[in-house]
Chains A and B, each alone.
Chain A
């Protein structure tokens, strides 16, 4: 069953009608409706393409959070062979909000990690909706250490509303864990690629997003704080999330203009959730291309370039 977003209502009606007609034809094969269905399908395709061509910021936020959007687990399934997940921060616990491990990606050994939001109620609870605690970030540091030690490229997929705000997390140093993870991510002497596949929320995203190359999917978002949180800070009301998202330019297009990301990866018409296999394959292609582009660079050169890239952000370019 396809989940329709609020702005996809006309599309839902149209596609519903097509299904209905098909069902009718199935019951009574004597009725010829193929012409009608064809016409409606063409109309639906046109509508889909028109809708997605001009998505507003808030609509993109909804697409980025679409429940059927491919998640970390889906990318691993399709892209990584011999994947072995690793668990625990060796200090306190295991945090399933961030998954990570090693495997083979298109013939290369890599370390891959990312936020997992879960796909149904049970798995969402298990992964804490992709909102990590300190243990998740400390596990990330462990994985980055290993990537460097074994000279493996590092792939990071970002999909989180933010780090989890809770009592335990604060007691165990949520802020310190994020700071150390960002720190390690910047200093790791191996090629690193980050892809924002859904939602990149605040410090919880930055912690594993300070990569050599940063890619965003066309309808993903990357924000200083979730639109709801920003609205409650700026307007004292989370109902203004739509305004906050728009004002903060949270879309891939906005971020590319600001020089914060390197590249936008187009999504299939109708969003990543409609053509999941194709989307994942294309993300794989982009990651492969980026890793290949960094091959032959030594660790120190990679770190230097990464530092310079971040230091240059927001600076006025002197002519």
Chain B
């Protein structure tokens, strides 16, 4: 505190404070510095109209992007243990949670909803980096599991949009255990023959990356997204070298065979729709049915192995 703050009355200092109105009107692209009118930026799904930089998208905008006409229903998620470690670092964990809930309007980092995507029913889970770095704690893990349960019950595809720094330290080992828990959920989908599609957005790292985010049937990444296991800072500190340009970016993962495609946000829905329709044996959006319908197998036949391999 500067001495003047103690002497000058607060009301007077308010006059000298910067007004924050310009922040609400303009967005400055973090990549190219272009000033974009805020409303235009939101309408463009937070993609810079100048350089195509994909900024982080909040949950509601993402759900609105994927579901037809913004029609979707959000699922409730089972309650989980509340602060089992009684954790406190610089602040108490429950206080942090409260702030993040107020900031994002969401109970935790993962929101699960269902609704139509180009007319095909899907379950979508969205992880929001704005909520404690999208960290995977018990509530987020439970939401991922819940999404799988709903997809199983409805026999529909499960699309997961990942964004996370990794496990939630404040929940200790129980946060680490969300990796196997979510993995079990993915296994159940796999056994039921339901598609599990993962969209990797900026950033997806750590325990999320080392579990369900890398177990999709198909991996789609958003351009330029940071995707990896260890964060770049940790790697730099370990090997004491500067990391190469483009390291751990979406395009790097494509080149190294870890993702199937890098898709521009504006084409994401169309791409997902196409994949989901083919995998679910549905006609194309134009009504075309280009494949032979799947033969119906009776329960008795299903148990016997094929006579010829």
Contacts and interface: CB of A to CB of B under 8 A. Distances in A.
B293 interface: no
Given A170-B235, A203-B229, 5 more contacts: A175-B229, A224-B173, A225-B167, A229-B234, A310-B184
Contact of A249 (B85, B230, B252): B85
Contacts of B174: 258, 260, 313-314
Interface in A100-154: none
9 nearest A-B residue pairs (beta carbon): A165-B230, A175-B229, A175-B209, A248-B172, A178-B210, A174-B229, A179-B214, A234-B89, A224-B176
Nearest to A168: B239
Nearest to B211: A179
B84 A258 contact: yes
B298 to A, nearest CB: 22
Contact of B214 (A175, A234, A254): A175
Given A183-B186, A258-B84, A223 B172 contact: yes
A224 B175 contact: yes
Contacts of A230: 169
Interface string B70-108: 000000001111001101111000000000000000000
Contacts of B141: 314
The SS class assigned to the A binding surface is helix
- Interface residues on chain B, size class: 35 or more
B195 interface: no
Contact of A248 (B169, B177, B207): B169
B230 A174 contact: yes
Contacts of B177: 260, 310, 313-314
A244 B173 CA distance: 12
Interface in A70-126: none
Interface of B: 78-81, 84-85, 87-90, 138, 141-142, 145, 166-167, 169-181, 183-184, 186-187, 205-207, 209-215, 228-230, 234-235, 238-239, 241, 243-244, 247-248, 252, 256-258
Contact of A167 (B89, B173, B243): B243
B145 A203 contact: no
Interface in A205-235: 206-207, 210, 222-225, 229-230, 233-235
Contacts of A210: 180, 183
A2 to B, nearest CB: 31
Interface size class of A (residues with CB under 8 A): 35 or more
Given A224-B167, A249-B85, A315-B78, A202 B176 contact: yes
A312 to B, nearest CB: 9
B228 A175 contact: yes
B104 to A, nearest CB: 20
Contacts of A311: 145, 181, 184
Contact of A170 (B88, B166, B169, B230): B230
Given A174-B210, A314-B80, A203 B179 contact: yes
Contacts of A229: 234
A186 B180 contact: yes
A173 B257 CA distance: 8
Contacts of B229: 163, 165, 169-170, 174-175, 178, 203
B87 A170 contact: no
Nearest to A222: B173
B234 A179 contact: no
B145 A247 contact: no
Contacts of A165: 229-230, 234-235, 238-239
21 contacts: A163-B210, A165-B238, A165-B239, A166-B235, A167-B244, A173-B257, A203-B207, A224-B167, A235-B89, A244-B89, A247-B89, A248-B169, A250-B172, A310-B184, A311-B145, A311-B181, A314-B181, A315-B81, A316-B78, A316-B79, A316-B81
Contacts of A163: 210, 229-230
B179 A313 contact: no
B172 A206 contact: no
A225 B78 CA distance: 26
Contacts of B179: 179, 182, 203, 206
Given A169-B229, A307-B187, A225 B169 contact: yes
Contacts of B145: 311
B129 to A, nearest CB: 15
A243 B205 CA distance: 25
A243 B87 CA distance: 11
Nearest to B141: A314
A170 B248 contact: yes
Contacts of B171: 224
A176 interface: yes
Given A166-B235, A167-B243, A235-B90, A258 B258 contact: no
A183 B256 contact: no
